[in-house]
Chain A
Amino acid sequence: MHCSRTFSRFYQAIIFVLLAFVSGCRPSQEPAPQEKTGEKKIGVLLLNHGSRSERWRQNLIELEKNVSEKVLSIEGIDGIQTVFMEHASPSIADGLKAFDREGHSDIIVIPIFLTIGSHMFDDIPTIIGMKENPASMEKLKLENIERYIPKAKTHLAPPLDFSNILKTNALRRTLALSKNTGEEGVVLVGYGSTTFDAQWTELFENVGTYVCKKSGISDFSTAWCGHIANYSPDSTAAAINRILEKNKRALVLPLLVSSSEQFQNEIIGGGIAVVSDHESRVQYKPDAILPDPDLEQWIVDAAEQYAAEIIKLSRTQEASDLD
């Protein structure tokens, strides 16, 4: 009897705690964004994929610090924020909402992505309200990634492959690893894309060809470490072995925006570990594209170009309104 009374109180307490918890979990109300002023007020959103790795996040935060002063000195721009598509905060929606609250009229979204992929072509435009890709809409909901259509007008800049950054970055890092270019081949490891495999392959072919031409290295091979390769080290190992068939040493270069324990250590490092004589025949540094002064300048240039176009368009509009 006593036992069942105790349990009855126990269950009542559980139900009370659960109700209190659920009632406290309602989403908070977003304050309404301020009205736009006549002047253009532009924000820059530095958008990257995101990772649970603190090392990954830190590189992107550093990038923002390094470009902030130059970007904020551009006419019309008065805000800059780094946001993460997934696995880290602030999210894209957080960034857009913050710019809306501050009354920005325009947001330049600069994606720190290598090239076109499902994220770049469909997911990001869907998150910021430029598209409604059905698969992205469903995926975002399932992965709890908030979609937010800002009051401010968004301008999405192209990814990194529209510049020479990847080529010069890969060359610089290859030469830093190299001991004797005549005896070496390069392995370029990237995330890859199932849907846009042709574009990724073409990009890596271009980068590899450039690195070989400029460094005197005769061979390069490509490996994927992302979803297309099931996050397995096998592709890396196979690409290294292809190089070692013809060369004395392989230089392994991660063409990833930032560093994370999963990619640079477990997947790429795991691929190297299964190659025989890897201690003497494989040169590897678990680094990333960042930090790169050229990439920083590319961001400043992109922000400057988009801001100039926004202001020019606005002035043209004002002039035609006056007429």
Chain B
Amino acid sequence: MRKSSGESLRKINNILHRDLGYFFAALIIAYSLSGIALNHVDDWNPDFIISKEEIKLNESYQKNDITPDLIKDFSAKVGENGYRLYDFPSSRQVKIYYKDATLMVNLQNGEALYEKISRRPLFYQVNVLHRNSVAWWKWISDVFAITLIIMTITGILMLRGSKGLSGRGKWLIAAGFVPPLIAIVIQQL
């Protein structure tokens, strides 16, 4: 009777591990991809592709020289037919706004920077989830996190014998503690 109850619990454990694994497979991959992307946020923009093009206008201008016609001329140089708005961050600069781009012109030296923004495919979408950009997603995210804990525990308990927790499992778990402990100790020094 006792053995049968143990078997039954193990069966539930294995079913839980298997089915939760299937159900959350997509989300685990999405969060892992996004995690790698966001880890390197200082080295690249994981959300957007910002293409930059430097152009030289070969002339210097004063703020008072700037007219809508001149703005159209600047825009034509970067292939923009029209503009939405322009504004002056300082008396030395004018910024022109387009649908998905901007042109910042240094009026003193005539140097201009054209920046075009577009979403980085796949990474933008997975980052939306990881950053909880949809307000209610954080609750799903919490459920997901709890589920990962359940999956880990059920995974640990899945096998018996020399390949289970009582065998190699306990040593691998102990080894898994080492990298984070080293990092924490180094941080505290």
Given contact pairs A22-B136, A142-B131, A142-B133, enumerate 17 new A-B contacts (beta carbons under 8 Å).
A3-B12, A21-B136, A25-B135, A116-B89, A116-B90, A121-B87, A121-B89, A134-B97, A134-B101, A135-B50, A138-B117, A141-B133, A142-B124, A142-B127, A143-B131, A196-B89, A199-B89
Residues of B participating in the A interface, judged by any CB pair closer than 8 Å: 8, 11-12, 15, 19, 42, 47-48, 50, 84-85, 87, 89-90, 95, 97-102, 115, 117, 119, 124, 127-128, 131-136, 139
A contacts, CB < 8 Å to B: 3, 7, 21-22, 25, 116, 121, 131-135, 138, 141-144, 196, 198-199, 230
Q: Name the A residues within 8 Å of B87 (CB-CB).
A: 121, 131
Minimal Cβ-Cβ distance residue in B for A25: B136
Chain A residues, CB < 8 A from B131? 142-144
Q: Assess whether A143 is in contact with B133, with CB atoms less than 8 Å apart.
A: yes
Q: Are A144 and B90 in contact (CB under 8 A)?
A: no
List, in ascending order, chain B residues with CB within 8 A of A121's CB.
Answer: 87, 89, 95
Interface pairs A-B: 10 shortest CB-CB: A25-B136, A134-B100, A144-B133, A134-B117, A135-B117, A142-B133, A121-B89, A230-B42, A142-B47, A116-B89
Q: Cβ of A144 and Cβ of B15 under 8 Å apart?
A: no
Asked whether, in the complex, the Cβ of B100 is within 8 Å of the Cβ of A131, the reply is no
Task: Give bound CA distance, A133 to B11, whole Å.
Answer: 56
**Distance in angstroms between the alpha carbons of A154 and B139 in the assembled complex:** 35
Kindly provide the distance from the CB of A299 to the nearest chain B CB, expressed in whole angstroms: 24
Taking CB as reference atom, which chain B residue is nearest A120?
B89
Are the CB atoms of B139 and A21 closer together than 8 Å? yes
User: Cα distance A22–B137 when bound, in Å?
Assistant: 10
Contacts of B134 in A (CB 8 A): 144
A134–B98 touching, CB < 8 Å: yes
Majority DSSP secondary structure for residues of B touching A: mixed
Contact of B85 among A131, A135, A199 (CB under 8 A): A131
- Closest B residue by C-beta to A144: B133
A144 contacts across to B, CB distance below 8 A = 131-135
A-B contact pairs, 27 of them (CB 8 A): A3-B15, A21-B139, A116-B90, A121-B87, A121-B95, A131-B85, A131-B97, A132-B85, A132-B97, A133-B102, A134-B99, A134-B101, A134-B102, A134-B117, A135-B48, A135-B50, A135-B115, A135-B117, A138-B117, A138-B119, A142-B124, A142-B131, A143-B131, A144-B131, A144-B133, A144-B135, A199-B89
A7 to B11, CA, bound (A): 12
For A196, give the chain B residue with the smallest CB separation.
B89
- Shortest Cβ gap from A141 to chain B (Å): 7
Complex alpha-carbon distance, A238 and B105, angstroms: 33
CB distance from B121 to the nearest CB of A (A): 14
Across-interface contacts of A138 in B (CB, < 8 A): 47-48, 117, 119
In the complex, the chain B residue whose C-beta lies closest to that of A11 is B19
Q: Are A135 and B135 in contact (CB under 8 A)?
A: no
- Of the candidates A132, A141, A198, the one whose C-beta lies within 8 Å of that of B84 is A132
A residues in contact with B48, CB < 8 Å: 135, 138
A3 touches B8 (CB 8 A): yes
Interface centre among A132, A142, A230 (most CB of B within 10 A): A142
Most B-side CB within 10 Å, residue of A3, A141, A144, A198: A144
Complex Cα gap A116–B48 (Å): 24
Inter-chain CA distance A7–B20, complex, in Å, is 12
